[in-house]
Amino acid sequence: MRTKPNIIITGTPGVGKTTHCETLAASLGLTHLSINTIVKDRGCHDGWDEEYQSWIVDEDKLLDEIEEEVKLGGYIIDWHACDLFPKSWIDLVVVLRVNSTILYDRLKSRNYPELKLQENLDSEIMEVLLQEARDSYDEEIVVELTSNTSEEVDSNVARIEAWVAQWIKDNEG
């Protein structure tokens, strides 16, 4: 039984996952689990994809690597996919959404290759991550929040902080 919840912050690259996770980790004392960093640092991949400029993730190895930690609770998982994490690990799934013009500018400033940029824009417009979250978890735990402005970051963070406080109260032994 966890005494602190596990949260996934997901969404298309550039929506603001890392920004939200870092703020929440600092304010709530939860651990920011950047899957990107774990994949890279713990070798949970089958090599580097030159075209997409990203690691080819070995999901089984990744899950084995993080299982013991995540099962303890208190993790904020930061990743642009969510369907790989077992339902029993997760208490809240936040899907961040952004306007496509804003997303274009954010990804452009990251020097994304054109193919990767277009695919991510299409994915955001087609609500791919939102659908993946809804298909993978119970609808009560999936929340869609917009992340166009820094004011929205602040209000999203406040909302998630309140949710965590309530979760802890509800799950006190």
Q: Residues interacting with ligand DAT, by CB under 6 A?
A: 11, 13-19, 106, 147-150, 152-153
Produce one character per residue of 96-122: b if its CB has 16 or more CB atoms within 10 Å, e if not: bbbeeebbbebbeeeebeeebbebbbe
- 126 DSSP assignment: T
- Which helix (H) or strand (E) segment is 83 a member of? none
Q: How far is the CB of 151 from ligand DAT (least distance, A)?
A: 8
Q: How far is the CB of 124 from ligand DAT (least distance, A)?
A: 11
Beta strands at 54-57 and 45-49: parallel, antiparallel or unpaired: antiparallel
Measured from the CB atom, the residue of 72 and 126 that comes closer to ligand DAT is 126
Measured from the CB atom, the residue of 4 and 17 that comes closer to ligand DAT is 17
Q: Which residues pair with 55 in a beta bridge?
A: 48
Measured from the CB atom, the residue of 106 and 116 that comes closer to ligand DAT is 106
Q: How far is the CB of 110 from ligand DAT (least distance, A)?
A: 7
Q: How far is the CB of 62 from ligand DAT (least distance, A)?
A: 17
